[in-house]
Amino acid sequence: MKLILDWIPVIFSIGNLLYAIANDCGSIYILTGIFIFIICSAYYTIFRLHILHPKGVFAVSAIIIDENNKMLLIKNNNGLHMQPGSYYRTNKPMLNMSLETPFKKMIETIRKETGLEDIDIELIDLSYSGNNREYLLKDLLKTDEEKKFFREYLNHNITPPPFFMIQEFGDNKTSKEKYHISMYYAFKLKNLQKNPKLIFKDIDEFENLSVYKDLKYVYNKLIMLYKKTNYPTSNIRLCRFNDKTKTVCWRMTHHCSTHCRHCFIDIEVDTNPININVDYDKIYNNISKYQVEKMVLSGGEPFLISNLFDIVEKINESPVMKFSICTNGIYYHNQIALIDKINQFSKFDKFVVSLEGYKNDNYCKTKHIEKNNNAFDKVVEFLSKCQSLNIRFNINVIGDSYFLSNTKKFIDFWRDKKFEDITISYPIRTRNNSKTDLLKTYQKIINGDFGDVSFIKNIELIIPICEDTICPSRQNIFSIDSSGDFHKNCIDFNDKNSTSLLINREDYKHLVEVHVAGLCIKQENEIISILIARRSPDRDLFPDKYEGCGGQLRPGELFNDGVKRHFKIEMGLDVEVINKIHRFYYISPNKQSPIQGVFFLCMYKSGEPKSINHTEVKWVTLDELKSMSESVFIKDVKNEMIALVNQYVQSTKK
């Protein structure tokens, strides 16, 4: 029937033309007949035979997301929640006789169904693959029939490239084809017009809605591709501070409730409350002088400071534009009332919470906490409380080998707890994996290889360059130390225990290496106890072997000072070096030049021995030391230890 109707104008125009010629009706009639014939023929050729249009049956749909990545849905008369969309008829001319493009059709449909104008939305470019723009979701084509449909009907270019999906018609009988091609365009909402039909829903809420069956899949794919485009470049930083914002980091105290194995700060494990005195005028003056915009309150653990609220209140009155607080969140019961009050301050930005685990056991190991301690649960409860109070927070995770081995479990944990702001930091101190390993894992996260990450609103990767001369944030980072003194450089380089001194020897070494080592003893009555430590099994040099304590000597550093520094940083001990009792040694790492060193005897003064670089630290008697196998020590170290102790015993008899 349609074919007959299409031919009626053509037959009429031909008949009219033949009549005019036969009856010599004049040139005007003949030209008119020719004109009508040309128009009818052109219409049939272009729009009925699809000469200029892409073939096939198409639908255009819009995925419109707000700033929280929630998706705009429209509820139709049947109660079905759908995205704005319409069939795109390939034979439909525009009024100005220009060809209707899918994108024009999409904008027109959005305007008609939502009331949003083109100025209210911004197109998201999904051409993540660069110049090699493959049609997305081509991997969906499973049957030969689908593949044939794709080949026949999708041999045309569409700009900008949309997000393709081949879908069945279902009950729609408007086409002889079993399938149609849906072209999804993605938009970011800029301005929302009032429309009671419009709702924005999170992907988790789709389960309770009557939605188009493929909508959840399309949404997840869209968010994944959107984040592919936006994360890898803008969200990788070379400094844990923002290199574009003038920031001051205030290391308020060295007291902390944990001793994290990756921490490079010279902290003191002490959970007793501490009160600190602050010269606010001096801080205010320096903030104004250097035009500092942001302050980071850190430690140690700021929540161990008994007058923290008073300090925060004053900071809120300072010239800074905003401030954040770094915390481990463990002793949350003492903080709940306080965090709600802090959240009321206009300049408060967020809490930065270190959470290097997804379950209690490894978390406690990382923090050097007893396994029966429920610290992990306390942190999770602290974060849940922040969520209930709408307090912003960021989760900071160390991208070490444990994270790389359990990435999927971490992501599953974040998804379950709805943690949406994540920072993954390359470990400055415990470098048991390379930066390349972490970068590859980060890209896999963005790709969705470990599962859906659409729930994450922001994810950052920090690959720090902690050398003062090439620090990317050098001109914009300032610091305040625990004494309240202001410095025109990064907090990590004020401390005499610079980060470069805390890196394992395998990762950082001077061109000319000299080592110092110490054997710590303590004597009670006639009994001498000797401190030995077992190296971690993941160390490249002498894994799982017993030793004393030591490492590189800094250029220009005295032997005594080097030994004391290593004991303090690595074991948290204060020792007295007995200069006269020492032995010379050298070690010869595999395929490396021998390293010379001096092994000193040291007397214990104070501190509880703990080490993040060792799996075991213990006191043994001289007899116990002698009974241990030499194979569990670094070569010759056991004999050197015994010789040092014997030398000490002989010196006390003189």
Which of 400-409, 457-466, 529-538 shows the lowest per-residue confidence on average (mean pLDDT)?
457-466
Superfamily for 507-653? Nucleoside Triphosphate Pyrophosphohydrolase (3.90.79.10)
The model's confidence at residue 46, banded by pLDDT at 50, 70 and 90, is low
Question: Residue 345 has which token pair?
Answer: 């301050």
Q: What is the pLDDT of residue 492?
A: 58
Question: What percent of the chain clears pLDDT 90, i.e. is strictly above it?
Answer: 18
Most confident of 145-154, 482-491, 584-593: 482-491
CA gap 334, 120 in Å, rounded: 46
pTM of the model: 0.49
Selected from 3.65.10.10, 2.40.70.10, 2.40.10.220, 3.20.20.70, the CATH number assigned to the domain covering 236-500 reads 3.20.20.70
Per-residue pLDDT reduced to its tens digit, 596-638: 788 999 999 998 898 877 889 999 999 999 999 999 998 889 9
Q: b/e map of 46-67 (b: 16 or more CB within 10 Å)?
A: bbeeeeebbebbbbbbbbbbee
- Residue 333, judged by CB atoms within 10 A of its CB (0-12, 13-18, 19+), counts as exposed
The model's confidence at residue 145, banded by pLDDT at 50, 70 and 90, is low
The model's confidence at residue 231, banded by pLDDT at 50, 70 and 90, is very low
Per-residue pLDDT reduced to its tens digit, 540-574: 778 899 999 988 877 667 888 889 988 988 888 99
Question: How far is residue 567 from each of residues 315, 572, 605, 635, 654, measured CA to CA in Å?
Answer: 37, 6, 11, 21, 29
Q: Which CATH architecture has domain 58-231?
A: Alpha-Beta Complex (3.90)
Most confident of 262-266, 472-476, 601-605: 601-605
CA gap 381, 396 in Å, rounded: 16
CA gap 651, 645 in Å, rounded: 10
Q: What is the pLDDT of residue 630?
A: 92
- 229, pLDDT greater than 60: no
Per-residue pLDDT reduced to its tens digit, 509-520: 444 467 889 999
- 130, pLDDT greater than 70: no
Q: What residue type is 248 in one-letter code? A: V
Q: Judge if 58-231 and 507-653 fold alike in CATH terms.
A: yes
CA gap 498, 493 in Å, rounded: 5
> What are the extents of the domains in the chain?
2-48, 58-231, 236-500, 507-653
